[in-house]
Homo-oligomer: A and B are copies of this chain.
Amino acid sequence: MTSPSELRKDPVSGRWVIIASERSKRPDDFRPAKPIERPSVPSAFCPFCAGNEAKTPPEIFTLSGPADGPGSPPWRVRLVPNKFPAVSRGDAPARVRRGLFESMPGIGVHEVVIESPDHGREMADLPEDHIRDILATYQARLRSIEAEPQYAYTQLFKNKGVEAGASLSHPHTQIVALPIIPKQVKEEIFRSERFHRRTGDCLFCRTVAEELDAVERIVLKNAHFAAVEPFASRFPFETRIFPLRHAPFFSAAGLEEIAALAGMLSAVLTKMKSLLADPSYNLVLHQSPNPAHARRLWPEFEQISHWYLEIIPVLTHVAGFEWGTGLYINPMVPESAAKFLRD
């Protein structure tokens, strides 16, 4: 008997997944949940809406210019400190150790990019030139934080919808800088370093090249980017957008690349919105730790780290098997997911 499922290993992270499409046929006796409603009208309460600017901490950056919506709001993209930060600015923290228990103060940066003044328009609904402005805002801010020597790693991410961890429905993105390089980020670069030592190539560049050769998991491709359902996808419709040009930092992408990325993001998010019934999702930037810290661990970090975006629609729940093993069971074959999004 051949097994109806397959274990696959992700070349980038080294993590195994179980692709088990038979699992999608299992019965379900829970009544479907009522979708969580997202208020689509600006409320007096929403701190991210035009007119409520005083409800956020003073802004760090504003992009103004001809607005694309009716009524001409006073700004297009706004960047503010997070009012309820996970980490806060301060001096490089000292680690405290009491027996086995190690801790340090939560020093860092936590900021919010308000993507547009319009409460009801998600990134998928915005015109490409507005998405370009959002991406340019990300870049400007990341460039500046990446140069601050006390922060080791900067994480940009977007949570859309309650199931993806959002607490406010007005479209926004978050930037968090940390005093440490997370273990998971280190591991990916250590893998890439070993591969580079063995082959002279970047592991990410090679993965993209092999995905392009295999064709079947590619969703979209343009002159600068490829959108792929990874070989070892953990979740149905998990999508990675890889830049074709090798580069460790998103903030270094050129104008033409940003325009191409805006087009690809718009296309992928629009497909997901219409084909997957407007799912909650996470958008996650993967890139090198900040230069001063990366160089200390990997003198040749510029050759071995390669940024990419990950989009994870929230269609399943993390369960006990995943918490115990770190392995994900994916009921959707990534080749089928790519075909579905493509056609």
Contacts and interface: CB of A to CB of B under 8 A. Distances in A.
Interface size class of chain A, counting residues whose CB lies under 8 Å from the partner chain: 35 or more
Contacts of A6: 103-106
B319 A106 contact: no
Taken together, the copies of this chain in the complex come to 2
A343 interface: no
A140 B51 CA distance: 65
Contact of A164 (B159, B168, B286, B320): B320
Interface in A142-162: 153, 155-159, 162
Contact of A85 (B22, B180, B184, B312): B22
Contact of A319 (B25, B164, B213, B316): B164
Interface string A14-38: 1110111011011111111110111
A317 B165 contact: yes
A5 interface: yes
Given A28-B168, A86-B18, A159 B7 contact: no
A4 B106 CA distance: 7
Contacts of A159: 319-320
A182 B326 contact: yes
Contact of A100 (B88, B107, B207): B207
A183 B319 contact: no
A26 B180 contact: no
**6 closest pairs, A vs B, by CB?**
A165-B319, A157-B320, A5-B106, A184-B326, A26-B84, A282-B320
Interface of A: 1-9, 11, 14-16, 18-20, 22-23, 25-34, 36-39, 43, 45-47, 83-88, 90, 93, 99-107, 153, 155-159, 162-170, 174, 176, 178-180, 182-185, 203, 206-207, 210, 213-214, 231, 282-286, 310, 312, 314, 316-327, 329
Given A5-B106, A31-B36, 17 more contacts: A3-B90, A11-B100, A14-B183, A18-B86, A18-B106, A20-B87, A26-B83, A26-B167, A30-B162, A30-B169, A34-B34, A156-B324, A157-B324, A165-B316, A183-B326, A282-B323, A314-B317
